Amino acid sequence: MSEETFYDYIIIGAGVAGLSSAQYAARGGLKTLVIDVSMPGGQALTIPTLENYPGLYPSVSGTQFCVNMKEQAESFGAVVIQKAVSSIDKISDVFTVYCGKEKYSSYALLIATGASHRKLGVPGEAELEGRGVSYCATCDGPFFKGKKIFVIGGGDSACDEAMFLSTLSDDITLVHRRDTLRAQKAVADRLLANPKVKVIFNSKVKQIKGEGRVQSIELESTVDAAVTEHSCDAVFIFAGMHPVTELVEMLPKDEGGYIKTDDEMQTLMSGMYAAGDIRSKPFRQVVTAVSDGAIAAHSAISYVMKIKDDKK
């Protein structure tokens, strides 16, 4: 392995956990590489206004926040590249990360690949994705300005995104399968007070219908199984996330499939850390992902220093 492709610390995933870890590790003296298949920022890129990050007041957009994080990490020497990681392995105390034919090596490795959107799995969802079915209001909302929009889910994402969509249309309907929202109280209260958003409780999606584009949605009551059809132009789905663990199937996970770590972000494999939404933990927020990343960097610095000391 050439010196150019050997790093102290490789981070897979350039979401806010990965970028935070890159900044702390590079500033702490580790030669650090961040690899992501997409542009840096991950899920946080889609946050219209990051209003609950302590001290970031007035708030900024998620996109601006991620651009700042990347530039801050780079200012300390971290290298951020856009490539798809195909596999990883570890021989002795060296990890190798394969990106097709290219490979990069390191002593410590952080898995920060986050979580992806859960699908509903109902008829019409896959067929009409990109034709009115969407999982990102910031990305696709502007295509439906002034249109009739349905939002599915009762968590923070559904409520936040419905609020954002209500800046584009007066005709938003949020559908939740239970009779109370899961979202944090402040988020839920604000949603319920928004006159542009109608909420249908106790209903689940049975089918999304349309010829070439979304034209209607069928809902089924969870109380009496009554089915109703509603015309609409778009269905934004926020049914939660599932962790992206394909690269590390060998690691122990909790019942939700999230990677188990200790308080130092250490996984069961020595020198391999996990941070952010992929990690088993009670509260997933930008601020907790950033914290995970910093702790992982702190652990990696001690680990790499010990390896280097042992080799002297």
In the complex, least distance from residue 206 CB atom to ligand NAP, rounded to whole angstroms? 10
The single residue of 36, 66, 89, 140 carrying the catalytic annotation is 140
In the complex, least distance from residue 96 CB atom to ligand NAP, rounded to whole angstroms? 32
**241 lies in the binding site for ligand NAP (CB under 6 A):** yes
One of 32, 42, 135, 160 touching ligand NAP (CB under 6 A): 160
Q: Is 136 exposed, middle or buried (0-12, 13-18, 19+ CB in 10 A)?
A: middle
> Is position 139 annotated as part of the catalytic site?
yes
In the complex, least distance from residue 149 CB atom to ligand NAP, rounded to whole angstroms? 16
**234 lies in the binding site for ligand NAP (CB under 6 A):** no
One of 27, 131, 182, 190 touching ligand NAP (CB under 6 A): 182
Q: How many CA atoms lie within 13 A of 22 on its CB side?
A: 35
The single residue of 89, 139, 179, 189 carrying the catalytic annotation is 139
**152 lies in the binding site for ligand NAP (CB under 6 A):** yes
In the complex, least distance from residue 51 CB atom to ligand NAP, rounded to whole angstroms? 7
User: The tokens of 170 are what?
Assistant: 């007066």
Q: What are phi and psi of 77, to 5 degrees?
A: 110, 0
Q: Chain-centre distance of CA 171, in angstroms?
A: 27
In the complex, least distance from residue 146 CB atom to ligand NAP, rounded to whole angstroms? 25
Give the whole-angstrom CA distance, residue 289 versus residue 20.
8
> Is position 99 annotated as part of the catalytic site?
no
- Stretch touching ligand NAP by CB under 6 A, among 83-91, 104-112, 129-137, 234-242: 234-242
Nearest alpha-carbon partner for 194 in 212, 174, 211, 208: 174
* DSSP assignment string, 48-79: S-B--STT--S-B-HHHHHHHHHHHHHHTT-E
**155 lies in the binding site for ligand NAP (CB under 6 A):** yes
Q: Please report where in the chains the tokens 């928004």 appear, as a residue.
A: 194
Nearest alpha-carbon partner for 53 in 294, 296, 291: 291
Q: Chain-centre distance of CA 26, in angstroms?
A: 23
> Is position 140 annotated as part of the catalytic site?
yes
**90 lies in the binding site for ligand NAP (CB under 6 A):** no
One of 178, 198, 230, 308 touching ligand NAP (CB under 6 A): 178
Q: Where do contacts with ligand NAP occur on this chain (CB under 6 A)? A: 52, 120, 152-158, 160, 177-178, 182, 187, 204, 238-241, 284-285
Catalytic residues: 136, 139-140
